[in-house]
A and B are shown apart, each in its own frame.
Chain A
Amino acid sequence: MTTARYARLLVQINGAVPVALLTFAAWRDRLGYNPSAYLLRTSGLLALIFLLLSLCVTPLRRITGRNFFSLFRRTLGLYAFFYACLHVLMYLWLDQGFDLLNVPADVWRRKFILLGMLAFLLLIPLAATSTAGMVKRLGAVRWKRLHQLVYVAAAAGVIHYALRAKVLETQPMLFVVAAGVLLGFRAVWGIGGASHSRKSAGRVG
């Protein structure tokens, strides 16, 4: 196994650790005093963490000058999508009792959910076009432009989390700050902008 393949395998395996532990805890009925709230919060937190980790790849590449980290981006992004799916499923089940007809009205009335849903919907085309084949079919430039939607998804996701809290709380604010730094990095370095160099076309920040 090459170093590159091994490194990617490491990320693939580790991304599954939280869902494995969460499933085990659920099976043992160890989800705290309020299992519904815990499942909703934990799945959402994991989605945001993997989304922000995937946004760390380009800054790390720029700072270290090594392309090594790009190996992890797709895996991290797909895990973000996976945990976001889990989070939406928990919302539909635990918050809405699978009353799907009521969901559009609920999403509209509760604006923090509207933002969260926006983030989730934006991740769908990104996950669907995550294969190398899709990069070819779309062409690197168009693919890259499409995948800039991840910036909007990340911003919507962390604001969704911050607005959900009843009062200003520390942890959601840390996520907002982290997303702000990661997106601000791109604004300052001009990554993802039209003036981006050709050399790394196809490797969206």
Chain B
Amino acid sequence: MNGNIPAREITPRETFLSRRRLLQTLGIGASVAATGGVYAWLADPGPSPYRTSGRGPREGDGGGAAVSMADTLTPPETFTHYNNYYEFSTDKRDPALLAAGFKPRPWSVTVDGRVAKPRTLDLDQLLSLAPAEERVYRHRCVEGWSMVIPWLGFPLAALLKAAEPLAGAKFVAFTSLLDPARMPGQKSSVLRWPYVEGLRMDEAMHPLTLLSHGAYGEALLPQNGAPLHLVIPWKYGFKGAKAIVRITLVDTQPATTWNLYSPADYGFYSNVNPSITRPRFSQRFEDRLGETVDRRPTLAFNGYAEQVADLYRGMDLAKDY
């Protein structure tokens, strides 16, 4: 077959070898680009916020003050783009996208159960119950990250008092919106919907317990639980129901969503407690988002022990976690 190829057309050995090397080099480059592309798709970290040069609390900082000197406000885009909100998605980056069209108005909230004045309020009636206050709270997620958030809202106690609780009211049960058409995550049964939460009456009436309708000086965004998000700063974040539609005063401890899902991990009380390790979570340290990687030791009651420890006097918090 090769008999009719003239000798002058045979590729010289040197050219052949250098071509081979060129192709091999190109092959390496192409494969590295492909691997890099697959990796970038698989391990996309999403946007990264600017960081403050915060530091962890040191010996002697104390933790009693509502906000200590070591607390710097979390960048607002972290607050609005890193959301645990399973009604929309289990991926924390998704609620900001999926909740974009969610309209928190019109909205009404029913207050019922063991109260003298059960009623249903629309949002404007509810907001006129008490003046909005700004409260800067540490926010601690059970997963181990924390933020510092300037909430707007008023004490839940103002709403409860207006409904005139009866003697039999021992607990408060919160129910979040059930509407799979507006909350696509509810089409999946990762949790039992609607989301339900609860507090003991004295916890609900505590002056730190805030019914929030805003943050960073603006109305709450849908991905942050608009229009109403309960904030209990000494408890893990999941205790704070979002998009609340019903508040019922009851005489027995109500069922709560994460406790139903995994009682060993999520207790009814779920006070922030560095000394209790559950199967999924060690709570000794926390990551303050927006800071450089710098573990802070977790504070008992999230640093609000001075204000709330009395609520739990005489209880075994290792048992009632």
Contacts and interface: CB of A to CB of B under 8 A. Distances in A.
B279 A110 contact: yes
A167 B90 contact: yes
B78 A167 contact: no
B40 A34 contact: no
A25 B45 contact: yes
Contact of A167 (B45, B81, B190): B190
Contacts of B143: 37, 166
A60 to B, nearest CB: 17
A164 B284 CA distance: 18
B48 A29 contact: yes
A38 interface: yes
Nearest to B145: A34
A17 B35 contact: yes
B279 A109 contact: yes
B43 A106 contact: no
Nearest to B33: A17
Contacts of B282: 95-96, 106, 109-110
Nearest to A33: B82
B170 interface: no
Given A10-B31, A13-B28, A33 B279 contact: no
Given A33-B49, A110-B280, A22 B43 contact: yes
B72 to A, nearest CB: 15
A34 B24 CA distance: 40
B172 to A, nearest CB: 25
Contacts of A1: 24
B125 interface: no
B197 interface: no
Nearest to A164: B280
B261 A32 contact: no
B107 interface: no
A166 B262 CA distance: 9
A30 interface: yes
A190 interface: no
Contacts of A134: none
B280 A33 contact: no
A33 to B, nearest CB: 4
A112 B143 CA distance: 15
B295 A94 contact: yes
Interface in B6-50: 24, 27-28, 31-32, 35-36, 39-40, 42-43, 45-49
B35 A33 contact: no
Contacts of B28: 9-10, 13
Contacts of A10: 27-28, 31
B45 A30 contact: yes
A31 B290 CA distance: 11
Interface string A117-128: 000000000000
Nearest to B43: A42
15 contacts: A6-B27, A10-B31, A14-B31, A18-B43, A29-B48, A33-B49, A35-B287, A37-B287, A45-B43, A46-B43, A94-B293, A99-B284, A109-B279, A167-B86, A168-B190
Among all A-B residue pairs, the 3 with the closest Cβ atoms: A32-B45, A33-B82, A167-B190
